[in-house]
Structure 1
Amino acid sequence: MVDAQTIQEWARPWAKHTKKHGVHALACHLIDTMEVAYRLYPIILGPKVRKELDRIFAPLDGSARDWVALLCGLHDLGKYTPAFQSLVLEVALARFPEKDHPVLERNAPAKKGQRWDTKHGLGTAVHLQDMLEAAGASRDTALLIGHILGGHHGWFPNPGEVRAARGKDDLGDRSWAEARSELVQKIAGLRGLDFGTPAWSEVEVTALGLVGLAGLTTLADWVASDSSRFAYEPNPEDIHAYQERAREQADRTLRTTNWSAWIPPERTGYRDLFKKDPRPLQKAVEASLDQCDGPGVLVIEAPTGEGKTRAGLQAAADLARRLGLGGLYFATPTKALSRQALNEVRKLMEGTGSPLDVNLVYGGAAKDMRAERVEAQILPSAVGEEDAGDDGGQNSLEWFTRKRGLAFPIGAGTIDQLLKSVIRSGHNYLGMASISNKVVVIDEAHAYDMYTGRLVDQFLWFCGWMGVPVVLMSATLPANRREELVEYWRAGAESRAPDRERVRVLAPGSWQVAWTGGTGSPSALGLSDETKARGALKVEHVDESPDAIAEQVVARVGDEGTALIVLNTKTRAQDVRDRIAKLLVGKEDLPELVLFTGESQGVDRTRIEEQVHSLLGGKSPEERHAIVVGTQVLEHGLDIDADLLVSDLCPIDLLFQRAGRLHRHRRTHRPSGLGTPTLLVADVNPERRAARGPGDRGSMFFAPHIAKIYAPLILGRTRVVLSEVLAQERWDPLDEIAKQIHRVYVAEESMIEDGWEGAWDNADSSYDRRRKKLRFQASSVMTSLIGSHRDILRLSRRSGPAGRTRPTDGREKGRK
């Protein structure tokens, strides 16, 4: 046990205490955190944030990096109070002289876990605000720095909470305040800084700089709280000697976790990165980014199979090199696509000789990755564990084991992890800071409904505000939606509200690559020979009944060939699969029959994906015989090819996605009758629909449950467009899809069928109600746009579950 008579005054307060590791002095933890923050500063914070911090701290002697590191270190200053020290009374009484024992005993909890004291974050906010104001800082500067550091456990305190904490006995009297100030000056001196300099009067903080400070503070605290890497020191005798030890521990931690900024190669052309000749798409990306002289948005619109994933990675490497960024995050709408993207990003890293790991980022990702090396893990311990009811410790462990890809330089995962940074919840600022030094690639940018899409809008605003370049990729993005997304980014870059008048689009889009940061026009995209060779599709109607679908499939590929059946619900997929199996009983040379729905997860999902690729992938044998039945999991990302496609009626853009699996690869052999790619659209028989009387025409009349998955209005407009296609029995989607998407989603063209006016009115009203409801729900949980520096305190204002990145109205149920 440490003797209060021998321990130096600055080393008396403790910061961490566990049965296993004993006591860690507060001064040591502050120094640990400061040294980690100094090293993470250029890794985590992006160029625009660092430039803003340079401007903020320019009036002070010393670099912005030194000042930010010091402030990060001071996050736990509020632990130097009777309130916190008395939490483990026997430790405090042994470390402090007898004159302090009465106040410590007064503030000790009556029972273990029973708390009524002031949280240490509030103590930090109170003291730093007072100390900065005493040095001459403006009230706003002092208040905001104090509140930001006091909110390092995820929630920024409001000014009322801080005012209420002032003068409480549990913060200690003047002697405690003086001791805290002396500790601040002592630690500042380690970096050659004078915390009491009157130059604070010239410092003006901004919201952008404070977001960087907040995120780096929490992250550095978590890293420095790993007791396996930062050994506890109960009684440091020499503060300079301990700083050297902290520096060595911080360097070793970043080295063994392979945590450094990404340095892209000097040559970032497609051929340099992937050692293959570029397709027209990749050439267009290179040409567009030749205009790049600052952050912006690159929009890649190309059909499935053209190589958008690699084009997006090519763009990310080029933008990172040009703009001095240190990482990338590849975002997808689903976990399955994230796993596929992980492999592509790994190939990029390995092909360019980068030593960095690629982190898979989504809830449950750890189950889908191989066990990591123990030395590469950071496991924060004793973070907030003395704060009963504070979830800081739990969140820190989760962040580093399940979501660390946002903090580490290279990540691939769901877009949900990005969107949590714009939901008012704990630690959202950490997500913002973590992407400030990255290129963000958003795949399948069309794939989000009105709720999640509204969060995507808000996220793009903050990307523009932080100077984060974004690559948007899609095969079916409506032209007006493209302009909306770009406008939100531009509005953020200009720190203004988005202007919806700027996104009015009257004409459909086209295959193109457009860089919004330049002055040039979008590059019209020529398609590759492989894509052109697919040609037009033969399109036919099939009745939506499971029996009719099963009979058509068995009749066409029962003896040879391959079929892909994409249905809108797992119940229909299972039913159709079972009926096909019955029809195949007794046949010779049976096809492989596979069911693939979103319910398959983990190892089972990986096994089924591998099986589907072996049957329908690019390397599958020429003589193939297989039927794969599934749900929307077959829509995106799978590089598979079928002779016949059966699809439930669905929105026109999704039908195009599904059709991209037809004749995707060049093959020397196709079955008789399927030499032309053939699409069967499963929908209600038109004769049955026409036979409905006037009293039965209040709804659009679709197959069971489909209208619960997709909006009836969009399904109805798609059905009208498809009726024109079916009349011709031919569809050339590569040439027609942009116009058709525009007609379904954007144009004000009336498609009301005679005799169905009431159904169309009901569908239109339902669509408008749902649109307003979802946008309202999104607005009620997301952060507000930043107007002034004080707006930052609203970022983490509690509003609901942090994971609410998808709608909860039941529309998604049954799709798996």
Structure 2
Amino acid sequence: MADWPEIDLTLWGKSRGLGGRRYPLVCHLLDAAAVIEALWEGYLPSGVRAVIADGVQVPQEHAKKLLMHWAALHDIGKVMACFQMQDKEGFGELVGYPENEAESKGHAFAAHVWLGQALAETGYKTESGRSPGIRVAQLLGGHHGRFSLLNQREFRAPLECLPALGGGRWEEQRRSIAAVVHQLVGSPMPPAKLPTPVASLVCGLVILADWLVSQDMFLRERIAVGLPKEGNIDSLRHHFDSSRTVAPRLLGDAGLGRFTFKQGGFTEDFPFDPNALQRSIAERLPDLVRQGPGLLLVMAPMGEGKTEAALHAGRLMGEAAQTPGYFFGLPTMATSDQMFHRVEEFRKRRAEGADSMTLVHGMAWLNSAYAPDGHAVDVLTGDPFATQWLRGSKRGLLAHLSVGTIDQALLAVLRGRHNVLRMLGLSGKVLVVDEVHAYDAYMQGLLKRLLNWLGALKVPVVLLSATLPVPVGRRLVEAYLKGTGSRGGSIPEVVYPGWIYASATSSISVPVRARARRLQVDLRNVPMTGSGLVNRTEAVHDLLSSLAAEGGCAAVICNTVAEAQRTYLEIKTWLDRPGTASADAPVVKLLHSRFPARRREEITQEVVGWFGKEAGDRRPRTAILVATQVIEQSLDLDFDIVISDLAPIALLLQRAGRCHRHPTNDSRRPAWASSMRLVVLAPVDGTGGLTIPRAWPFVYPASLLRRTHHALGRLEGRPVAIPEHVQELIDQVYDEDFADQTDPITEEDLERIADEQTKDMYASMAAIPEPHVLRDLSDLSQGEIVDEFSTRLGADSGRVVCCSPTTDGTLLLPPGEVLPESGEGRDGRFTRHQVRRIVQETIPVPGTWLRDLPDDNHAPTAWRDNPHLRDLVLVTFPALGEPGRLGDRTIRLSDDLGLSDLAEG
């Protein structure tokens, strides 16, 4: 420090929201270093600490000091005129700095450019983009979530390439700050290497530390305690020591702490004895996980307790890898909401320590169980799940327990801002992906890239499926093993029912016994109407006549919302005909995606209460649920019979899994429902040939529908033996080699294969590179193509809000609350309550409904400034239940039908 001038404390790092005060830059940098230390010692699981230390090839204590040093340099780029000028009063207090009229540059990019040479002068290697000095400079330059391209000339001559940095006292202060923070954190020696996966985790940690110490509340508290009066080493050491003292409390307030599960076996995890699948995993897995982190692929029939198996296996795998906790990824928001309850029950029984739990998807804050009345209350004042801080944008995965849509995990491998923070969140826990079969080729492509990265980071993974084609399962396992560095090892054959455990050192396939069942599959032809619609009326009435007379519970599953609505009305009309109405008539419910969010949650909870595992005496004597695909996955429902539109065989078997699911209901079943039965309705033309309705190929590939129809026809009335025949049926339909010559290759087959290959290619283009080939960290965030893709390719949809006017023109939300057209909060902003009430009434609709809309459908002008409201579309009805206009469509909203397009009816 003697070689450099004292630190200028008038160089500020934070000023916004501090009541005219400015927070010295060097203090902010030391705060970040202190919080990195607290995160290392009090939050990061041991397994993550080991991955980082092993990656940089130093002991863990040394690794901690390296991270503290790097975090203390993240904002070094703020020592330049164009940044300091952003606070004109503060800039006016600077003395002795040369004027600099160079083009303004961001401070993160300035750090990226300046740090390469500075680190080289302290012993860091900087020969190539993979050298530790260049890697550190680039990752710190990416602490705002976006990385800059490598440019060796910038690193060799930073002041020449970036004049905005400024020379003279600007350069002196940068060097002084770099020298003093290095000394205060213990002067750690440079590492010999910094692998790409580790660099991504380090950047995530720096982002996390920066966010924590940038909170206005924390800065004001530090100002109130007192800031250094002088910029010498002793004064700054005092501030640093004080920051290290308060850092653990800062983490605690954010909900970040050390987490564990109670030890024990399966019977400690659950209040029942394990079945064959669960027992097999409980007995065999403990020895396997001792050999290192790996991937567990569980394939078993519907209703075999895969969720409980995953919770138990994940606990064992997390303990062995020293990464306790879970992220449960599911296909939809609805299935995530249901899984949240199941994981929460497990958490209550088995979790210890800082067990904050988050629900992460776009509508999580509307879930009444997770956020009562839409408010997130600080954990210290009684919130049962997570702190307000953890509920913030992009932070949900940082909780040790988290449930959400798989999209939240896939975003970690999409090129874009802050993906490294998501990767950090995933790295400290076990990833459990449920319903793996439910994702299309694009999402499967992203999942493969994610598994590749998680293998490199030694993150345990559990994949669950009841109906996964063998080639898909093999490719997922291969992707994970490639990430671990495993070379040339053979992957055991996927067994059904059973499980595979694959790690860098060994792989094993374990068959298991499953509950033997016989599924009676009836393929029933139904005619098409003259207008091209499926006529289910006669078939459904015939199939449900015994139910109407003797009782029982049935599910009727349609492929589109419009068909579900029409079928619901036909059943209601049939049951209400003269001579059939009675006090004991079946209860009929409709569930699909096109209800207002509030109403859909109400119906879902009601349905789970009637047909769920805990229904008991609440199960109706006689009831019919008409639904779409929303009930085929993760909703734990039980019916006496399932009637379904023709769908791909994997999904039909999923739907069949809702039939006779809970043995506890067997004593309640009527005589006509003594066996497990799935009736598949296949639309045919006048000659009896399969006819695929116009709307269905937008939902499912026509080739899979046709091949499924052929496979079911071959059964010729024979029951499907579960589990013996399940994989055989799946492979018949999804056979990629078309080895089954009884079904010749068709144009539809070739279209499907080409479409899947194209989607896989798009996934590869949109995803970040594999860790072993990534040389430039800018590939994590750069690339024009990323803006054209999300986690769901071609997901074209929007949301509408329905309202009706009063006589004076005031717009009302159902059932009569005034629509907030302007904000009631500070500066005219919308309050959380206002936003919640609006979003509760939103309804998802296809993007085709929202093209070329007139002014009548435009949302209030004030909504444009709110991220939750800006993209919503308004639909005004004369009165609830009466038709309204959405563009050129005539639509209607009702409490029992949801939103209907009258042209589809």
TM-score range, shorter chain: 0.7 to 0.9
2:727 maps to what in 1?
738
Taking a change above 3 Å as real, the CA distance of residues 230 and 88 of structure 1, as seen in their structure-2 partners, is closer
- Equivalent position SS for 2:403: strand
| CA–CA separation in structure 1 for the residues paired with 2:122 and 2:360 | 44
- Equivalent position SS for 1:673: helix
| CA–CA separation in structure 1 for the residues paired with 2:626 and 2:346 | 33
Matches within 5 A, 1:437-516: 437-494=428-485, 509-516=495-502
Which protein has greater RCO, CA pairs closer than 8 Å, 6+ apart? 1
Match of 1:136 among 97, 110, 123: 123
Match of 1:769 among 720, 745, 754: 754
- Equivalent position SS for 1:773: helix
Once the two structures are superposed, residues 236-289 of structure 1 have per-residue CA deviations (whole angstroms, 9 ceiling, x without a partner) of 22323322332243211222333113212232x211112321111211111231
| CA–CA separation in structure 1 for the residues paired with 2:88 and 2:347 | 52
Taking a change above 3 Å as real, the CA distance of residues 744 and 320 of structure 1, as seen in their structure-2 partners, is same
Look up the equivalent residue of 1:373 and give its one-letter code.
V
The Cα shift of 1:800 comes to 2.0
2:182 maps to what in 1?
188
Taking a change above 3 Å as real, the CA distance of residues 495 and 749 of structure 1, as seen in their structure-2 partners, is closer
Match of 1:717 among 707, 719, 739: 707
Matches within 5 A, 1:577-592: 577-585=568-576, 586=578, 587-588=581-582, 589-592=584-587
The Cα shift of 1:416 comes to 0.6
Matches within 5 A, 1:306-321: 306-321=304-319
Is it true that 1:166 corresponds to 2:159 in the alignment? Answer: yes
- Equivalent position SS for 1:580: helix
Matches within 5 A, 1:557-572: 557-559=547-549, 560-572=551-563
The Cα shift of 1:722 comes to 0.4
The Cα shift of 1:657 comes to 0.5
- Equivalent position SS for 2:794: coil
| CA–CA separation in structure 1 for the residues paired with 2:740 and 2:271 | 50
| CA–CA separation in structure 2 for the residues paired with 1:242 and 1:230 | 13
| CA–CA separation in structure 2 for the residues paired with 1:616 and 1:808 | 34
Once the two structures are superposed, residues 218-253 of structure 1 have per-residue CA deviations (whole angstroms, 9 ceiling, x without a partner) of 111111111113325395223233223322432112
Taking a change above 3 Å as real, the CA distance of residues 607 and 539 of structure 1, as seen in their structure-2 partners, is same
2:817 maps to what in 1?
none
The Cα shift of 1:417 comes to 0.8
Tell which deviates more after alignment, 565-574 or 323-332.
323-332
- Equivalent position SS for 1:558: helix
Look up the equivalent residue of 1:260 and give its one-letter code.
G
2:791 maps to what in 1?
805
- Equivalent position SS for 2:691: coil
- Equivalent position SS for 2:217: coil
The Cα shift of 1:402 comes to 4.1
| CA–CA separation in structure 1 for the residues paired with 2:346 and 2:559 | 35
1:793 maps to what in 2?
778
Tell which deviates more after alignment, 453-462 or 404-413.
404-413
Once the two structures are superposed, residues 450-476 of structure 1 have per-residue CA deviations (whole angstroms, 9 ceiling, x without a partner) of 111111111111111111111111111
Tell me which protein shows more helix as a share of its residues: 1
Taking a change above 3 Å as real, the CA distance of residues 129 and 791 of structure 1, as seen in their structure-2 partners, is closer
Once the two structures are superposed, residues 753-781 of structure 1 have per-residue CA deviations (whole angstroms, 9 ceiling, x without a partner) of 7xxx7xx6221232133123212221221
| CA–CA separation in structure 2 for the residues paired with 1:479 and 1:765 | 20
Q: Is the 8 A contact 1:230 1:246 kept in 2?
A: no
Taking a change above 3 Å as real, the CA distance of residues 602 and 729 of structure 1, as seen in their structure-2 partners, is same
2:678 maps to what in 1?
679
The Cα shift of 1:401 comes to 1.5
| CA–CA separation in structure 1 for the residues paired with 2:742 and 2:57 | 64
Is it true that 1:614 corresponds to 2:612 in the alignment? Answer: no
Once the two structures are superposed, residues 374-421 of structure 1 have per-residue CA deviations (whole angstroms, 9 ceiling, x without a partner) of 3669xxxxxxxxxxxxxxxxxxx9985244231121111111111111
The Cα shift of 1:191 comes to 2.2
Look up the equivalent residue of 1:81 and give its one-letter code.
M
Look up the equivalent residue of 1:570 and give its one-letter code.
V
The Cα shift of 1:308 comes to 0.8
| CA–CA separation in structure 2 for the residues paired with 1:374 and 1:580 | 48
- In the TM superposition, structure 1's runs of 4+ consecutive aligned residues that sit over 6 Å from their partners are 59-62, 501-505, 809-816
Look up the equivalent residue of 1:66 and give its one-letter code.
K
Q: Is the 8 A contact 1:152 1:214 kept in 2?
A: yes
Match of 2:11 among 13, 16, 33: 13
CA RMSD of aligned residues (A): 3.0
2:520 maps to what in 1?
537
The Cα shift of 1:668 comes to 1.3
The Cα shift of 1:442 comes to 0.9
Tell which deviates more after alignment, 401-410 or 461-470.
401-410
Q: Is the 8 A contact 1:549 1:576 kept in 2?
A: no
User: Tell me, which stretches of 5 or more residues in structure 2 are unaligned?
Assistant: 230-234, 382-387, 527-533, 798-843, 848-898, 900-905
| CA–CA separation in structure 2 for the residues paired with 1:623 and 1:60 | 63
Aligned residues: 749
The Cα shift of 1:44 comes to 6.2
Look up the equivalent residue of 2:791 and give its one-letter code.
T
Is it true that 1:273 corresponds to 2:277 in the alignment? Answer: no
Q: Is the 8 A contact 1:423 1:802 kept in 2?
A: no
Structure-1-length-normalised TM-score: 0.86
Taking a change above 3 Å as real, the CA distance of residues 516 and 240 of structure 1, as seen in their structure-2 partners, is same
Matches within 5 A, 1:684-723: 684-685=683-684, 688-690=687-689, 701-723=691-713
Q: Is the 8 A contact 2:500 2:510 kept in 1?
A: yes
Q: Is the 8 A contact 2:321 2:460 kept in 1?
A: no
Q: Is the 8 A contact 1:480 1:504 kept in 2?
A: no
| CA–CA separation in structure 1 for the residues paired with 2:634 and 2:662 | 15
Tell which deviates more after alignment, 616-625 or 140-149.
616-625
Taking a change above 3 Å as real, the CA distance of residues 616 and 331 of structure 1, as seen in their structure-2 partners, is same
| CA–CA separation in structure 2 for the residues paired with 1:59 and 1:71 | 15
- Equivalent position SS for 2:786: coil
| CA–CA separation in structure 1 for the residues paired with 2:288 and 2:513 | 20
| CA–CA separation in structure 1 for the residues paired with 2:685 and 2:572 | 28
| CA–CA separation in structure 2 for the residues paired with 1:596 and 1:729 | 32
Taking a change above 3 Å as real, the CA distance of residues 275 and 761 of structure 1, as seen in their structure-2 partners, is closer
Q: Is the 8 A contact 2:640 2:669 kept in 1?
A: yes
| CA–CA separation in structure 2 for the residues paired with 1:709 and 1:494 | 38
The Cα shift of 1:166 comes to 3.3
The Cα shift of 1:12 comes to 2.0
- Equivalent position SS for 1:477: coil
- Equivalent position SS for 1:514: strand
Once the two structures are superposed, residues 701-730 of structure 1 have per-residue CA deviations (whole angstroms, 9 ceiling, x without a partner) of 3134222211111111111110022x2253
Match of 2:410 among 410, 415, 419: 419
The Cα shift of 1:50 comes to 3.3
The Cα shift of 1:669 comes to 3.1
1:781 maps to what in 2?
766
Identity of aligned residues (%): 26
2:256 maps to what in 1?
259
Q: Is the 8 A contact 2:591 2:626 kept in 1?
A: yes
Q: Is the 8 A contact 1:420 1:803 kept in 2?
A: no
| CA–CA separation in structure 2 for the residues paired with 1:801 and 1:680 | 43
Tell which deviates more after alignment, 7-16 or 672-681.
7-16
| CA–CA separation in structure 2 for the residues paired with 1:191 and 1:706 | 63
Structure-2-length-normalised TM-score: 0.78
Q: Is the 8 A contact 1:361 1:402 kept in 2?
A: no
Tell which deviates more after alignment, 225-234 or 292-301.
225-234
The Cα shift of 1:309 comes to 0.7
Look up the equivalent residue of 1:340 and give its one-letter code.
Q
2:592 maps to what in 1?
597
- Equivalent position SS for 2:425: helix
- Equivalent position SS for 1:278: coil
- Equivalent position SS for 2:446: helix
Look up the equivalent residue of 2:755 and give its one-letter code.
R
The Cα shift of 1:345 comes to 1.7
1:651 maps to what in 2?
648
| CA–CA separation in structure 1 for the residues paired with 2:796 and 2:687 | 29
Tell which deviates more after alignment, 714-723 or 122-131.
122-131
Is it true that 1:215 corresponds to 2:204 in the alignment? Answer: yes
The Cα shift of 1:788 comes to 5.2
